[in-house]
Amino acid sequence: MVPFTICRCLSDIFPSGRMAAENADIRPGETVAVWGCGPVGQFTIQSCWMMGAGRVIAIDRVPERLEMARTAGWAETIDFSRTGVYDALMEMTGGRGAFMNKGLAMKAGQTHMMRYMEPLLRRIEAGEIDPSFVITHRVSLDKGPDMYRTFRDKDDGCIKVVLKPWD
């Protein structure tokens, strides 16, 4: 049985990350750059690997997010507050970039959670992924307003909060 806190990831962040990776039309072995390493970005990184990416480069400026992308996501990272992204990508990929032979398109939309929940749940049950890696804080419901500020201000290494109404 999958714990309730893990199932919460199936209601938003994991399906959103999966859809982002699918929208990129990743082909096996490709190099993929993921902009933003918050909770959805972390699941985009994981989904890129599940879809056969050969290399994933994560781009953000928040140290804890970049560290999570490195350790839990096995991604190479670029801190855009310290490094020019274009030049870094060119250097890391031998001048090919992460978008070789692709026409770039901007896609947006609301994720259809029901489409993703069952297949992602099967991957969790099979042990292919444990979504709990993204949860950095678990607190009682009454701490919600304080934790929102902590999350908003990117304090205390906060990436994903789970509120526990039963505590």
Domain boundaries along the sequence of the chain: 4-98+116-134, 136-167
Over 31-88, what HEC string results?
A: EEEEECCCHHHHHHHHHHHHCCCCEEEEEECCHHHHHHHHHCCCCEEEECCCCCHHHH
pLDDT at 100: 54
pLDDT at 102: 55
* Spatial separation of the C-alpha atoms in residues 22 and 114, rounded to whole Å: 16
pLDDT digits over 100-127, tens only? 545 556 666 788 888 998 999 999 999 9
Stated pTM of the model: 0.89
Beta bridge partners, 56, equal: 32
Task: Look up the CATH superfamily of 4-98+116-134.
Answer: NAD(P)-binding Rossmann-like Domain (3.40.50.720)
pLDDT average, residue stretch 3-26:
87
For 47-77, b/e burial (b = at least 16 CB within 10 A) is: bbbbbebebbbbbbebebbbebbeeebebbb
pLDDT digits over 131-162, tens only? 999 999 999 999 999 999 999 999 999 999 99
CA dihedral 61, 130, 46, 116 (to 10 degrees): -120
pLDDT at 22: 92
